[in-house]
């Protein structure tokens, strides 16, 4: 999407213009936000490095409705920003490393306040690759956690669900473990502290004959709900159903309470109207969630305006931390929840904990259980289903890897 169309879709055009042309308003405009402007202006970006960190899942993550095995964990590209006064911030790199490397000269020699404000995040949306790292850097300079930069002295604490319950009942292919595998994985995640599970469904789209796959989806949902009565159940179809097929699934799990329904089919107004009608007719207390990746933001806005969508899901890195900061207040005005997609990287889960901690309106956070020798992840605590971010500066994750 072209930059102007992208900003217009988010309603961010006016804000971005203000930030991009800050010199027209003079320094006084920025000094109104307090000492943060002065402190950030004293730090000049001196060096930018690129590297990666390895995250390890506790188990093999299998298939979903459309994709094959998801593996044992990602290698995440990162950027590290250094200032002339010895401050360092880092974060996941949005987009390709080669594209980001071409923009380094646009950052070197600038003060942090030239690129970032505590009130608005990054000023130039074309620098979105460095968005998360600049938030971390600002927190380090100001000695505040990111949630405090967003306005909360103490974070709003939010539920966190396990997003790792895939089609592992189908593995290994020569001797599938069956539903017992799913129950064991839920127990493992329960013991980690999760009190919500997102179950992947849609086995009949690609991996099993439809009716057989539908029966397995229903069986998994019922057994997890029965085995963990104190936990919330979310389901994610990864666009593997038609609306009529998905209603068959809902009929099959009658009596099971779902927290949300995610991407049951590729979003269209007609199919969501039919699903919303069924949900109302059956008096189901469930949220409809969509927009995970490569989403048409204007179309998502239309679904929201038609009261067909309850939870906006676009990935935290795809949309960008700054853009999410600006989107959440707009969603609040329409009584729409946020829950930025985080699958693949626990780093994203932790970024969202600060977004939720500072702004609220995040109904739950996607958890991706991981360990790492490259990053100290220990500051974040998962207790009774709640994800608690640390009060240390920035995002509170120390980079252990030598770069």
Q: Residue 226 contacts by C-beta under 8 Å, 6 or more apart in sequence?
A: none
Among 137-146, 202-211, 289-298, the minimum mean pLDDT is found in: 289-298
Distances (CA, A) of 320 to 121, 194, 206, 303: 10, 26, 32, 21
pLDDT in tens, 339-354: 999 999 999 999 999 9
Q: Break the chain into its structural domains and give their ranges.
A: 3-144, 158-399
pLDDT of residue 35: 56
Mean pLDDT, the chain, whole residue set: 92
CA quadruple 1, 299, 70, 287: dihedral sign: positive
Q: What are phi and psi of 96, to 5 degrees?
A: -85, 150
Please, which pLDDT band fits residue 392 given cuts at 50, 70 and 90? very high
Q: Summarize the confidence of residues 130-153 as an average pLDDT.
A: 98
Please, which pLDDT band fits residue 295 given cuts at 50, 70 and 90? confident
pLDDT, greater one: 25 or 151? 151
Cβ atoms of residues 66 and 239 within 8 Å: yes
Q: Which of 181, 193, 187, 189 is nearest to 164 (CA)?
A: 189
What CATH architecture is 3-144?
2-Layer Sandwich (3.30)
Distance separating alpha carbons of residues 35 and 41, to the nearest angstrom = 10
pLDDT above 70 for 307: yes
pLDDT of residue 123: 93
pLDDT of residue 37: 81
Distances (CA, A) of 296 to 100, 293, 312, 355: 24, 9, 12, 22
| CATH 3.40.50.12280 fits domain 158-399 | no
Distance separating alpha carbons of residues 33 and 24, to the nearest angstrom = 17
Q: Summarize the confidence of residues 89-95 as an average pLDDT.
A: 97
Q: Summarize the confidence of residues 370-394 as an average pLDDT.
A: 98
Distance separating alpha carbons of residues 38 and 43, to the nearest angstrom = 9
Q: Summarize the confidence of residues 108-136 as an average pLDDT.
A: 97
Q: Summarize the confidence of residues 35-59 as an average pLDDT.
A: 94
pLDDT of residue 20: 35
pLDDT in tens, 224-244: 999 999 999 999 999 999 999
pLDDT, greater one: 40 or 295? 40
Q: What are phi and psi of 234, to 5 degrees?
A: -110, 145
């Amino acid at each position: 999407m072209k930059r102007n169309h992208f900003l217009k879709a988010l309603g961010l055009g006016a804000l971005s213009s203000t930030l991009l042309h800050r010199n027209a308003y003079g320094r006084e405009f920025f000094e109104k936000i307090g000492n943060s402007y002065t402190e950030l202006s004293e730090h000049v970006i001196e060096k930018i490095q690129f590297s990666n960190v390895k995250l390890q899942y506790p188990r093999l993550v299998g298939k979903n409705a459309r994709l094959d095995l998801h593996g044992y964990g990602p290698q995440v590209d990162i950027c590290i920003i250094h200032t002339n006064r010895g401050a360092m911030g880092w974060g996941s790199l949005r987009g390709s490393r080669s594209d980001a490397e071409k923009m380094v000269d646009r950052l070197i020699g600038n003060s942090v306040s030239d690129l970032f404000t505590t009130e608005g995040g990054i000023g130039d949306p074309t620098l979105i690759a460095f968005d998360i790292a600049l938030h971390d850097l600002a927190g380090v300079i100001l000695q505040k956690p990111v949630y405090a930069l967003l306005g909360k002295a103490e974070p709003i604490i939010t539920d966190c669900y396990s997003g790792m319950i895939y089609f592992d009942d189908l593995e290994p292919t020569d001797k599938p473990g069956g539903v017992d595998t799913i129950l064991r994985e839920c127990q493992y995640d329960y013991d980690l502290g999760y009190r919500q599970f997102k179950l992947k469904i849609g086995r009949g789209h690609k991996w099993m004959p439809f009716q057989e796959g539908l029966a397995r989806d229903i069986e998994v949902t019922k057994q997890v709900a029965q085995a963990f009565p104190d936990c919330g159940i979310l389901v994610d179809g990864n666009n593997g159903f038609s609306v009529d097929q998905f209603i068959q699934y809902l009929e099959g799990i009658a009596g099971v309470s779902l927290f949300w329904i995610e991407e049951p089919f590729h979003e269209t107004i007609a199919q969501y109207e039919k699903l919303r009608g069924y949900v109302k007719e059956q008096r189901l207390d469930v949220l409809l969630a969509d927009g995970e990746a490569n989403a048409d933001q204007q179309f998502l806005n239309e679904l929201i305006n038609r009261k067909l969508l309850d939870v906006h899901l676009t990935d935290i890195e795809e949309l960008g931390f700054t853009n999410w900061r600006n989107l959440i207040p707009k969603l609040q005005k329409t009584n729409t929840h946020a829950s930025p997609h985080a699958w693949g990287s626990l780093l994203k889960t932790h970024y969202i904990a600060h977004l939720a901690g500072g702004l609220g309106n995040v109904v739950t956070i996607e958890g991706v259980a991981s360990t790492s020798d490259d990053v100290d992840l220990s500051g974040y605590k998962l207790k009774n289903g709640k994800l608690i971010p640390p009060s240390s500066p920035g995002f509170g994750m120390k980079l252990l890897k030598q770069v």
